[in-house]
Structure formats: structure tokens, C-alpha cells
Structure 1
């Protein structure tokens, strides 16, 4: 599996599929015309197929990246976002996005320690104070004023 920086968050695009479909349609239309339009029709068809195949590969690679991050949490329950990023080579931005997706689907349970940034399986909720701050990455409440990491996504504050 090849990984490019921020591939998880920026790899797949619905607009890419639409553009690929437009190239396929234009190529198929031009192939039906007379001989001078045959070569451009093949070019458009090739570009459309290339775009659609790259989008399909991006979706398949997203599931592989999710499995890698989930496996890191299964092997070491108290791992931080930075540790996963260093050990797997996946950017912090992608690791945080994968963690949010895994938590949303219920595959990953627990909270990140606000002090150390490591995953904890049990978390004690405190009563929120009047001054409530929010995580810039996921928007969840930061309950401890001296927290350095978000409890929910593990982003550095």
C-alpha cells in the first residue's frame, strides 16, 4: 500500500467521479462520430477511465488505512496520535480523521487523556466549568482548562 501525505482526508472526491464520468461520456460520444473525432474520443475515454480508477483506488486505500490505525490501537491501547503517526508514517491530520471515523462508527471506544494525549479506555467525566473551550479539530468540549490534547480525537490544542 502506497501512502501519500493527507491521502485519507484529501484522496477521494465526488467531483472527481463526476469529471471522470463527463470524460467517459464525451469520449463515448466522440467515438461514435466520423474518423477525425476517433482519436480525441479515445483520449477522452482514457482520461475518464483513469480518473474513475484512481477514485476507486482511493476508496480502497481508505479502508486499508483505517485497518492500520485500528490495529495500532488493538496492539497498544495507550497510544497517542503522534505515536501512531511516527510508527505508521501516516500524517497526524489523517490519523485524527481516521480516529474520528472509527469513533463515529463505534469501532473505537475510549477517550484521550487531556494531559498526555494517550488513549484511555475509561474516562471520568467532570462537571463542565463556566469557561468552555472547544477542540479546533473536532469541535468537542474541552473539559479541563489545562488540557494539552483533545479527549475525543487526540488533537494537540
Structure 2
């Protein structure tokens, strides 16, 4: 697997597809519209098509590699169920930002269940516990900067949902 820095979070870009679409439009205008109007073909159209193809192929490769990154993180949690986000980062070579995003995506899809310890940052593999929610306190509530989950304990060092250091 070929991994580039922050590929999971920054790999696929809608703007790149828009730019590729503009280049395809320019290429079509240079080749087919001029041909339709009886003018000579402007061969720059092939240049625009080539650049657009390179952009689209790169974006599709980045999109396809996302599942490989997800599988790598999921495999690490299968092998080391109590690993921290930082340990997963060190074992896989994936950046911290990408590991955090992958863990959130896996949890949202229901593929990764459990909570992170708010003191050690280790994953606790347990079934989903349905606790009745207590009343909200009037005090100041701190939230995780990565996922937005409310801090459950005042002494928490790591987020209990995504494992990010607070």
C-alpha cells in the first residue's frame, strides 16, 4: 500500500474533479467544437484531456486507497484490541490525523465498537452499554476538539469516543 501524508482526510477533493471537468470542457471546445464549425483542430485539446485524465486517475486512486487504510486500522484493532490511537499510528505508519478520522468513520459505520479510556487513551472492547442519561449539569462542559463529544470526567486526558488527547 502506497501511503502519503494525510491521504485519508485530504486525498479526495471535489475541487479537483471540478478542475478536471473544466479541462475536459476546454479540450472539447478545442477539438470537437472547432471541427464542427469547419475550422482546423486545435491540438491543445489533447493536452487539456491529458491533464484532466491525470487528475481524475489520481483522485480515483486516492479514493480506492481509503478502504485499504480503513482495513489496516481495523486489522490493528483486531490484533491489539486495547491499543491507543498513537500506538496504531506507530504500527501502521499512518498519520495521527488520518488514524483519528478512520476511527471515527469505523465507529460511525458500526465496524468498530467500544470506548476509549479517558485516562490512558486505550480502547476498551465492550458491548454497547445503554445507560440512562443523567440531567445536564449547569457547569462548563468541555468538548473534544476532534469529534465534539462531551468530556465525561473532569480528570479525562483522552476522549472516550475517538481517543484524541484532550
The structure with the largest alpha-carbon Rg is: 2
Any conservation in 1 of the 2:13–2:59 contact (CA below 8 Å)? Answer: yes
Structure 2 residue 90 is matched with structure 1 residue 96: no
Report the number of matched residues: 156
Take 1:85 and 1:24, find their aligned partners in 2: how far apart are those partners? 39
Cα deviation for residue 85 of structure 1 reads 0.4
With normalisation by structure 2, the TM-score equals 0.87
CA RMSD of aligned residues (A): 1.8
Partner of 1:23: 23
TM-score, reference length from structure 1 = 0.92
> Which residue number corresponds to residue 5 of structure 1?
5
Provide runs of 4+ in structure 1 moved above 3 Å: 123-131
State whether residues 79 and 119 of structure 1, in contact with CA within 8 Å, keep that contact through their aligned partners in structure 2: yes
In structure 2, runs of 5+ residues without a counterpart are none
Deviations 1:30-68 (A, max 9, x none): 122244621x11110000001111110111011110010
Aligned partner of 1:145 among 147, 154, 158: 154
Distance 2:82 2:121 in 1: 9
Q: Deviations over 1:56-111 (max 9, x none)?
A: 01110111100100111111110100001001100000000000000111111000
Long gaps (5+) in structure 1: none
